[in-house]
Amino acid sequence: MGMSFSYGVPKDKNAMIALIRAAVERGVTFFDTAEVYGPYTNEELLGEALGPVRGNVVIATKFGFRMKPDGSPGWQGLDSRPEHIVEAVEGSLRRLKTEVIDLYYQHRVDPEVPIEEVAGAVKRLIEAGKVKHFGLSEPGVATIRRAHAVQPVAAVQNEYSLWWRKPEEEVISVLEELGIGLVPYSPLGKGFLTGAMDANVKLAANDFRSTLPRFTPEAMQTNAALVELLRAIAAEKHATPAQIALAWLLAQKPWIAPIPGTTRLERLEENLGAVAIKLSAADLQEISQAAAKIKIEGARYPEHLEALTGR
């Protein structure tokens, strides 16, 4: 997402294609995008970058927003009507230069469209060979169950990290019960858990983090306590804070696959290094107990965006 959308000025296309291909060369096989990222330009980027290796990778994309007619960033509202899903999948297939989408998520639950109708529409796309698997992003547990009864849900994509642990309250147990994978987005807290940000960071006006309560200077100053915890554990493990944050997620369940984003090769390699870090049960208990004592300051989203989650 950050290559094309939300994190300041979109990055150089050729440089990002080279980075995506470098990820494949290093063993990365799962790539996540959405039609709203741009809009559309991130899917086009992935389509061009992954075309030569399409058979070796899994591509996930998302539907469910109604774009602005002029193609400018942002969206007009939610739209998961079955007829819109049929239109959206054709656009995504074309931009991704592929005949099938491996994992097709509803980006946010649309309260105007029964989830059974959404699941049924994706089921028909699966039967038609245009989609392989159905996913949901930021759904509530009742929605997960209702959708799964119509078309098995392969994966749920929710924010989940050491500074946003709400999925532990209900979602993770339901996913385990139903055999659904969890794909944590923002596993590095939108960059904060890397340790590269502090209260003195000045975010650009076109960086969406500048609109998030958790990224005010006051909140970042308070939340630095969590980064210091990660630094301390990282020092013991000869790792970085980002690697500990990712290793913690990987250690939670074998069916959790976090999707850290980056636009820099050195950060890609740092993230991949998390796979080699093994956290023992004692390590995990120490981290959880220490993290539980740290009160995170600030909501993760403004109210109007938080309202789109957990339905």
Burial of 285 from C-beta contacts in 10 A (0-12 / 13-18 / 19+): exposed
Residue 104 is among the residues annotated as catalytic for this protein: no
Which amino acid, one-letter code, is at 182? L
Burial of 238 from C-beta contacts in 10 A (0-12 / 13-18 / 19+): exposed
Structure tokens at 140: 């509530």
Separation CA 131–CA 82 (nearest Å): 14
Query: What is the DSSP code (8-state) at residue 159?
Result: E
* From 7, 37, 40, 104, active-site residue: 37
DSSP 52-120: GGGGG-EEEEEE-EEPPTT--SS-SEE---HHHHHHHHHHHHHHHT-S-EEEEEESS--TTS-HHHHHH
C-beta atoms surrounding 200 within 10 Å: 8
Q: Which helix (H) or strand (E) holds 133?
A: strand 131-137
| CA angle, residues 84, 85, 90, in degrees to nearest 5 | 100
Structure tokens at 74: 């942002």
Instruction: Return the closest-CA partner of residue 101 out of 61, 53, 63.
Output: 61
Residues belonging to the active site: 37
